[in-house]
Amino acid sequence: MTLPETLTLETFRQIYAGGTSPRDVLALLEERWEECEKTGNPVWINRRSLAELQEEAESLGQRKAECEALPLYGIPFAVKDNIDVRGLPTTAGCPEFAYRPEEEAMAVVLLRQAGAIVVGKTNLDQFATGLVGTRSPYGACGHARAPEWISGGSSSGSAVAVAAGLVPFSLGTDTAGSGRVPAAFHGLVGVKGTRGLVSTRGVVPACRSLDCVTLFAHSLAEAAEILGLLAKFDPRDPYSRRAKAFLRPAELGESEVFTFGVPRESEWCFFGDKEAERLYRAKIDALVKLGGVRRDIDDRPLREAAQLLYQGPWVAERTAAVEAFLQSNPDKIHPVVRKILESGKEKSAVEAYRGAYALEEYKRQTEDLWSTVDFLLLPTAPTMYRIAEVEKDPIRLNSRLGTYTNFVNLLDLAALAVPAGEREDNGLGFGVSLIAPAWSENHLFRWAALVQAEESVPSPLPGGGILFAVCGAHLRGQPLHGQLLALGATFVEETRTAPAYRLYALPTEPPKPALVQVEEGSGGSIQVELYRISEEGLGRLLTKVPAPLALGALRLQGDREVCGFLGAEGSCRKAVDITAYGSWRNWQKK
């Protein structure tokens, strides 16, 4: 058996469904991990032995009856080395700081409970201080595809491990953008949820009041699934918060029009990077074509708030996290990191209060923003650099990378970083971030599915695919639209049926329509959207559609025939006939 270059949760589920054991799969992965180490790119700081991993896999297999219900059964993952894992030292990127944790981080516990297997600990900017991936005594972690370019940090090794096909997902942390910038450079999904949504117990703090545990994955669907497992209140973590509105994608709301905010073009900041600017502009234009409403915003309060993180008193919180080690072992700390940590000693309590007051002002100034836009669409990073460039100018270039990320945790916002194309100059990734207020994860996943649609699925699909019509909950902007995108469907056109159908509103939650074929002259022409989807994708969609709907042939205007979901007329006796409205959207507006 040969493993695919890109590993996903679905990869392992299909392999295990075919009868291959986790033990055998881990042996194949061991070969890949060893090949990666031969390249000299220092992804891992500590990796568990194959024998230990296989022993854990066998223990899962011995609990087969229970494991069949575990969502991540036998799926390997990587963990940033400032997050505690049982049996492995935590270094935070500093060998002399290393300790053996008595218990592991809550996030790791939850993933293990779901059946996942920790492979090892990944490289990082020391003490999670940096956005470049070069500030490590274990070596600068280069980009997975072009090692002379930075990987992004501080969660450098975690992003490279996923991008290089070593694991299907990984954990990182984010204070200033560390769970987002590496995702952008590698074409990954990076999730930085609301502060406190995922427990930070068992994490070496950078800024404890701002830190978030994050994750890297290849798709929105898989990232959402993993986040759903991690989003648990932890009473032992004083910074854990009870989620106010965190929902899985299948439970999303119903708004069909979205408005997104972008900075005024005169304020765009790409530091002369024309390629990044081109890709950002293209993504904005693509969203407008999909029906999004662009609103230019004044982002000065965001940029000014961002300055507080390193130029204000919050740098002292980084110092507080490792103060004892800084005092006793200053020469063991990376020179750039040490310079930043020592600057925190200069901050006074008076400055801390002034910074807190300023932050509240910025929060108040941005409150009205969220009544005018659903989310902000920003470049995740305004540019990228080679390792050699960063080593010559480590602080200034690093600071540039946080232009559109540093304010997010300070202002208590949630962010989702998604791929937005490849650069033509070096072939590497560019990404955008969707940002919204705390507890907006449900909306962010929904809108991100639209943002990603163009790049995530080629059109037309290989082999032509099948034309499939939807008329209700799967339409763009509707609550189940994400199911189509997750299955690789791509939008073709908006059209209408032949005048031989009646449309009913079923008494379901969320509300769904049923399209029923009737005799010519006794029905109407109903608005539908056409999508192209693979046979496999359509088959998987069928498993998600409940009775009384079933797959059938649907006639369109001009006597074209496509596949679509149809209802039986007898099953709609208790439903409301809404044919006169001509479309599901028109009925919702009534």
> Which amino acids are annotated catalytic?
80, 154, 178
Cis peptide before 330 (omega within 30 of 0): no
Closest listed residue to residue 377, CA positions, set 421, 423, 417: 417
The amino acid that residue 167 corresponds to is: V
DSSP H helical segments within 267-329, as ranges?
274-289, 300-311, 315-321, 323-328
How far apart (Å, rounded) are the C-alpha atoms in residues 422 and 449? 18
Q: Which helix (H) or strand (E) holds 172?
A: strand 169-174
Cis peptide before 137 (omega within 30 of 0): no
CB 132 within 8 A of CB 176: no
Q: In what order do the strands lie in the sheet with 466-470?
A: 490-496, 527-533, 466-470, 561-567, 549-555
Q: Which residues contact 271 (CB under 8 A, 6 or more apart)?
A: 382, 383, 400
Within 13 Å of residue 447, how many CA atoms lie on the same side as its CB?
33
CB 57 within 8 A of CB 21: yes
How far apart (Å, rounded) are the C-alpha atoms in residues 258 and 254? 11
- Return the HEC string of 334-392: CHHHHHHHHHHHHCCHHHHHHHHHHHHHHHHHHHHHHHCCCEEEEECCCCCCEHHHHHH
Using alpha carbons only, give the angle 352, 369, 306 rounded to the nearest 5 degrees: 30
How far apart (Å, rounded) are the C-alpha atoms in residues 76 and 61? 15
How far apart (Å, rounded) are the C-alpha atoms in residues 368 and 294? 16
Closest listed residue to residue 207, CA positions, set 406, 350, 417, 438: 406
